[in-house]
């Protein structure tokens, strides 16, 4: 029992030391970046980076700047982890995408990106602003494409083998804004209203299954490559504070840590979403529905009146036909012998 206690204490101490060391390293790097930015000349910046190795970033064995999802990972060198870029106005990201891996839709708020495909091919799409057309390309290995600053864009490995791309960005602090995670991180009632008033519960259900980047891409690619969509982590969701928190009435679904555990739930919820979306135009088209109801009512009354007229006419016609068969008084009726008198004459 004592050995278990000592082991627990030792592990706790190691964890505390590791956290302290990481915090200290981050503080030292932040201090260095601040000094580099304040340096009056490039020579002063060079002197602050005293080691030649300060100008080398290892993308294959990075100590930081890694974003990992179920279908691949990204490694970024920017001002946050590579101080040598300070004052040089550029950063770089290397993408390692597995089969059907997708760098999900995102923007760079402070940089234009030029992306070079090393091997394989990717499909990419870009939306720059309201009114701009959608730009879609298949970019083969050895080719490059560009994504303007602030544009929404994505890349997907459309093949069944891993690929690599290199992305250069013209800002040492380009920033990344993941569209799905950030949009669903807005206040739930705002998101619900934006999506046609689908309901806060549906917003919760959708937000809770947004996978981390790099995610698995389209079903078409997965089926073609014989891949079953596996468990995908959802740790990149927007943190909740009081201003964007879900109300207490929202019911949390079980096992919210992986997207594939909720696909059944989303299938069930999709019918509710469709019903909710369908109910919105039904409200806006209420005058049309009232007009149609009035037309149907008038037609029904017309048919009733026509039926009544038909019955009246039929009865009148039957009365006239019956009158035609009433025997009229015969002139000279007294000339006809009664039956008993006729018998006397026959004798």
Does residue 54 surpass a pLDDT of 90? Answer: yes
Q: What is the Cα–Cα distance from 331 to 125, expressed in whole angstroms?
A: 107
Q: How far apart are CA 171 and CA 327, in angstroms?
A: 115
**pLDDT at position 275:** 53
117-140 tens-digit pLDDT: 999 999 999 999 999 999 999 999
> What pLDDT does 257 receive?
47
HEC sequence for 30-99: HHHHHHHHHCCCHHHHHHHCCCHHHHCCCCCCCCCCEEEECCEEEEEECCCCCHHHCCCCCEEEEEEECC
Predicted local distance difference test score (pLDDT) of residue 27? 82
Note the pLDDT of residue 313. Answer: 67
DSSP state of 233: B
- pTM of this prediction exceeds 0.85: no
How does pLDDT run across 218-262, given as a tens digit for each residue?
Answer: 999 999 999 999 999 999 999 999 999 999 988 876 554 445 555
Average pLDDT over residues 151-170: 98
pLDDT band at 345 (very low <50, low <70, confident <90, very high): very low
Q: What's the pLDDT score for residue 281?
A: 47
Give pLDDT, residue 335: 46
Between CA 94 and CA 92 the distance in angstroms is 7
327-342 mean pLDDT: 50
Split at pLDDT 50, 70, 90, the class of 325 is: very low
pLDDT at 193: 98
Question: With bands split at pLDDT 50, 70 and 90, how would you rate the model's confidence at 181?
Answer: very high
Based on C-alpha coordinates, what's the Rg of the chain?
A: 41
B/e letters for 189-212, b = 16+ CB within 10 Å, e = fewer, are eebbeebeebbbbbbbbbbbbbbb
Res 328 pLDDT > 90: no
User: Which pLDDT does position 30 carry in this prediction?
Assistant: 87
Mean per-residue pLDDT for 74-79?
98
More confident residue, 164 or 4: 164
What percent of the chain is predicted at pLDDT more than 70?
A: 66
């Amino acid at each position: 029992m004592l050995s278990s206690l000592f082991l627990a204490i030792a592990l706790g101490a190691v964890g505390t030391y590791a956290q302290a060391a990481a915090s200290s390293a981050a503080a030292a790097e932040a201090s260095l970046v601040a000094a580099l930015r304040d340096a009056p000349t490039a020579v002063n910046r060079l002197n602050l980076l005293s080691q030649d190795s300060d100008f080398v970033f290892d993308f294959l064995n990075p100590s930081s700047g890694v974003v990992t999802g179920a279908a691949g990972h990204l490694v970024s060198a920017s001002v946050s982890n590579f101080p040598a870029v300070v004052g040089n106005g550029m950063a770089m990201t290397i993408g390692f995408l597995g089969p059907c891996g997708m760098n999900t839709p995102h923007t760079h708020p402070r940089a234009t990106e030029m992306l070079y495909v090393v091997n394989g091919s990717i499909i990419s799409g870009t939306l720059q602003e309201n009114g701009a057309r959608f730009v879609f390309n298949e970019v083969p290995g050895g080719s490059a494409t560009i994504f303007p600053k602030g544009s929404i864009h994505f890349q997907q490995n459309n093949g069944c083998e891993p690929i690599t791309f290199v992305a250069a960005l013209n800002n040492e602090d380009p920033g990344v804004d993941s569209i799905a995670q950030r949009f669903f991180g807005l206040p739930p009632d705002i998101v619900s209203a934006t999506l046609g008033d689908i309901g806060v519960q549906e917003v919760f259900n959708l937000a809770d299954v947004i996978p981390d980047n790099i995610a698995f891409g389209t079903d078409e690619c997965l089926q073609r490559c014989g891949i079953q969509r596996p468990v995908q982590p959802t740790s990149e969701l927007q943190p909740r504070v009081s201003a964007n928190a879900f109300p207490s009435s929202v019911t949390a679904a079980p096992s919210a840590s992986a997207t594939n555990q909720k696909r059944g739930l989303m299938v069930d919820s999709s019918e509710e979403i469709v019903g909710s979306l369908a109910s919105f135009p039904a409200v806006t088209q209420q005058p049309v529905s009232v007009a149609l109801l009035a037309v149907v009512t008038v037609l029904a009354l017309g048919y009733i009146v026509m039926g009544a007229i038909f019955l009246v006419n039929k009865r009148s016609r039957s009365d006239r036909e019956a009158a035609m068969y009433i025997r009229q008084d015969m002139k000279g009726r007294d000339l006809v012998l009664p039956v008993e008198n006729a018998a006397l004459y026959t004798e």
